Amino acid sequence: MRRNDKFLILLALLVMFLVYTASVYTRGTELSENNPMLDTAAIQGKVLWQKYNCSSCHQLYGLGGFIGPDLTTTISRKGDAYAKAIILSGTKRMPHYGITEQEADAITKFLSYVDSTAIHYKR
């Protein structure tokens, strides 16, 4: 096999790899009814989630800490008002962080978005 043939084969393999990689990493990322886009309040809630390091204790989609409960479906199970009340006042195990009403609303919006993208299993 000539050196030029090896180069063409290697180039063809590289192109196929790049096309395959692009298709794998872009498939399923398009928006649909089942994949709603984050609104401004939910984005702010995500920023606050990160600022207050909520994932050190809580999980989303099964990822995060184990001290607090997984909050992926807390909105559909407990409701917005319950989540907001806990965020504002804390509990025996969760400290009161001094979060404002607006911040609590934003975090609740973020949790609502997370809930809307979660898979809900029937028990």
pLDDT higher at 102 or 123: 102
Residue 119 has what pLDDT?
Answer: 80
Going by their DSSP bridges, the two strands 63-64 and 59-60 should be labelled as antiparallel
Cβ neighbours of residue 120 under 8 Å, at least 6 residues apart?
A: 73, 76
Cβ neighbours of residue 65 under 8 Å, at least 6 residues apart?
A: 55, 56, 57, 58, 59
pTM above 0.95, yes or no: no
The 10s digit of each residue's pLDDT in 108-122 is: 999 999 998 888 776
pLDDT higher at 17 or 5: 17
Contact 69, 55 (CB under 8 A): no
The 10s digit of each residue's pLDDT in 23-47 is: 877 766 555 555 567 789 999 999 9
In the numeric block, the tokens 């999980």 are attached to 59
Residue 76, pLDDT > 70, answer yes
Terminal Cα-to-Cα distance of the chain (whole angstroms): 62
3-state secondary structure of 54: helix
* pLDDT band, residue 74 (cuts 50/70/90): very high
Residue 26 has what pLDDT?
Answer: 75
Whole-number percent of the chain with pLDDT over 90: 69
Contacts from 54-63 at CB under 8 Å and sequence distance 24+? 54/107, 57/94, 60/114, 61/114, 61/118
Average pLDDT (6-29) is 86
Residue 80 has what pLDDT?
Answer: 95
